[in-house]
Chain A
Amino acid sequence: MMHPRQLRQQIHQGLNFGLVLASAFMFWKFLSVLTSSESPVVVVLSGSMEPAFQRGDVLFLYNRDNYVDVGDIVVYQVKDKSIPIVHRVMNEHHIEYTTSAQQQQQQQQQAKSSGSEYSPLVHTSGGKQLLLTKGDNNPVNDLGLYGRNQGYLNRDDDILGVVKGYVPFVGYITILITENVYLKYAMIGFMAISALLSNEE
């Protein structure tokens, strides 16, 4: 049985570590809420957007724009396909359902008669945008990557976010760790050895 003081120290260290992990997780979720995107920071995995993006670059996404513009770089995921793709929007076609003055008056009268609040500040009640994308480094557009009868991407359903910011290279470590098995074991081995040889409390 470990000495009580040692045990306390180990638990303390473990809790500290857990605190760091929890804080990191909290920060990630906070970014998700801020950008309204499931995955606010992504690492580029393929070379289909070269020379702009290389493998290992880190992209910052933002998903609060109702409509995406041509030329924007988006991350999308086709339904039933697992890999998100980062490509540029080539074509867009959108319909914005705005309420006309007449419709607003109708809605106001309806609200009065049913006794509920009507806010006249709301002018758009939604819309739909269809997109066609293409990778800068690909010779043809992404039609072949969409679903069987899918001619366009839908901004609301398929787009995970628009790329707004960029940091080069720093994501390459995550690629190496996930793809290179030797590196994973080497890192674990290194951590074990350094823990053995360390002189720290």
Chain B
Amino acid sequence: MSFSLADVTEYFTGTIDYKGQELATSILYKLLNFFALSSFLVGFVYQDIVYSVAIFGTGLVVIAVVISPPFKFYNKHNLKFLPVKNQVFSADTISDVVIEPIQQ
């Protein structure tokens, strides 16, 4: 098994595809709305601020666990890249091109 820096970087980055990002964002907001609202309401009804802090705190942990790791269900719609056809000159490689003076 070869460990290149790129592999390690990719592992720690935990990329997910675009549909997955949308899913993660919507989960984040839905859960946060739920936990924030219930932390306020439960605390208010029971007149104890400890409930509010506890609910909000556990909510944060739950959301972090659900959206941070690159779970499989975030990677269902992988991008399909086109196959490589011909070499194309790009601005990046222009410095690599050697310009020879025209022989008089």
Contacts and interface: CB of A to CB of B under 8 A. Distances in A.
Nearest to B92: A5
Interface string A82-106: 0000000000000000000000000
Contacts of A199: 9-10, 13, 15
Interface string A113-133: 000000000000000000000
Contacts of B10: 199
B12 interface: yes
A18 to B, nearest CB: 26
A181 interface: no
Contacts of B15: 199
Nearest to B14: A199
Interface residues of A, number: 3
B61 interface: no
A140 interface: no
Give the size category of B's interface with A: under 10
A11 to B, nearest CB: 19
B27 to A, nearest CB: 22
A188 interface: no
A198 interface: yes
Contacts of A197: 8-9, 12-13
A199 B10 CA distance: 7
Contacts of B13: 197-199
Interface in B23-55: none
A198 B13 CA distance: 7
A199 B14 CA distance: 10
Interface in A170-201: 197-199
A47 to B, nearest CB: 21
A199 B8 CA distance: 10
Contacts of B9: 197-199
Interface in B1-23: 8-10, 12-13, 15
A199 B16 CA distance: 13
Contacts of B8: 197
A187 to B, nearest CB: 18
A22 B15 CA distance: 33
Interface of B: 8-10, 12-13, 15
11 contacts: A197-B8, A197-B9, A197-B12, A197-B13, A198-B9, A198-B12, A198-B13, A199-B9, A199-B10, A199-B13, A199-B15
Nearest 9 A/B pairs, CB to CB: A199-B13, A197-B12, A199-B9, A197-B9, A197-B8, A199-B10, A198-B13, A198-B9, A199-B15
Given A197-B13, A199-B10, A199-B13, 8 more contacts: A197-B8, A197-B9, A197-B12, A198-B9, A198-B12, A198-B13, A199-B9, A199-B15
